[in-house]
Amino acid sequence: MKAVVINNYGGPEVLQLKEVTTPSITDHSQVLVKVRATSVNPLDYQVRRGDYASLFDLPLITGHDIAGEVVAVGKAVKTWRPGDKVYYSPRFGGPGSYAEYHLTDESSLSGMPANLSYEEAAAVPLIGGTVWEMLMVRAKLKKGDTILIPGGAGGIGTLAIQVAKSLGAFVYTTGQDILQEQLRQLGADVVIDHHKKNYLEEVQAYTKGKGVDVIIDTVGGHTLSDSPHALASYGNIVTLVDIALPQNLIHAWEKNATYHFVFTRQSRDELHHITGLIEAGQVKPVIDSVYPIEDVKSAHQRMEDAKRDRPLLGKIVLSL
């Protein structure tokens, strides 16, 4: 089969399209999936450049989203049959999704939402599981809550805005001025251009010093220690990013803040909730662009490029 193989850690140039052996079923609970589409996540380029080198052996295949079709099942598999359309996030640390076929355990699969194409569905599993975990499992977001979602135009942001809105929250987000209208259409009530303004100060001003009930940290740096300035008393801060810098949390103490640290692994149960919202028409994946798998280097380049010709809005998808 065709697969994108990483033999050495580095820039997009280390992504090499090659012929490799197609996996086959060796265990009764396994399922073989023909990958129709996958997507690019920041985790993919983090793996590619070696941030998780201690967890992988080279050569490796990365990729954390799959939308595809079941082509073979092990003897013990009862739920899935060849021809079923499925979507899921491969187990972190195992073979990834940048390949024509993927072998997985039946327990990782979810049925693909009936109203999505393969390309739309491939934009969902990793961020879908993560967004549900952040908003519902950790922050317990509810109707009438206020939430700040920095990075509103990103994969996480475009989905989190829609899910937060469907739950009845008032949504503050950040995004470049040129994307204001699209972010509002997704459900954002207030959009602040983070390239021009300090969004934490802006949120403080909008809320007249009260702050918001929930802040999602998709950005890192000093966000964790600075966020309490824009947080309501007894609020929740949920962070997705690794904490490379020492943090002074004195202002979190003053606010009686609760911190949650999220590192999504497999998230089928959370993804089921997102499937429900998609099928109910309350949430729709936002696709920035679709690249054929042969152009995977350009797709990575677009995601990492600080000087894009147009800003990123939603997910970059790879079609196979």
Ligand X SMILES: NC(=O)c1ccc[n+]([C@@H]2O[C@H](COP(=O)([O-])OP(=O)(O)OC[C@H]3O[C@@H](n4cnc5c(N)ncnc54)[C@H](OP(=O)(O)O)[C@@H]3O)[C@@H](O)[C@H]2O)c1
Nearer CB in complex with ligand X: 68/157:
157
Nearer CB in complex with ligand X: 112/153:
153
When CB distances to ligand X are compared, the closest residue is 154
Instruction: Report the distance separating Cα 303 and Cα 102, nearest Å.
Output: 24
The nearest distance, CB 183 to ligand X, in angstroms, is 10
Nearer CB in complex with ligand X: 73/161:
161
Instruction: Report the distance separating Cα 203 and Cα 209, nearest Å.
Output: 8
The nearest distance, CB 318 to ligand X, in angstroms, is 14
> Would you state the structure tokens that stand for residue 225, as one six-digit string?
């220690």
Nearer CB in complex with ligand X: 68/155:
155
The nearest distance, CB 145 to ligand X, in angstroms, is 21
| CA distances from residue 73 to 103, 105, 110 in whole angstroms, order as listed | 10, 10, 15
Instruction: Report the distance separating Cα 124 and Cα 225, nearest Å.
Output: 30
Nearer CB in complex with ligand X: 33/161:
161
Q: Which residues, in sequence order, are CB contacts of 231 under 8 Å at separation 6+?
A: 211, 212, 215, 237, 252, 255, 257
Interface residues toward ligand X, by CB under 6 A: 41-43, 126-127, 130, 150-151, 153-157, 174, 176, 194, 218-219, 240-241, 262-264, 303, 311-312
The nearest distance, CB 206 to ligand X, in angstroms, is 16
The answer to whether the CB of 109 falls within 8 A of the CB of 31 is yes
C-beta atoms surrounding 270 within 10 Å? 20
The nearest distance, CB 264 to ligand X, in angstroms, is 3
Instruction: Report the distance separating Cα 146 and Cα 163, nearest Å.
Output: 13
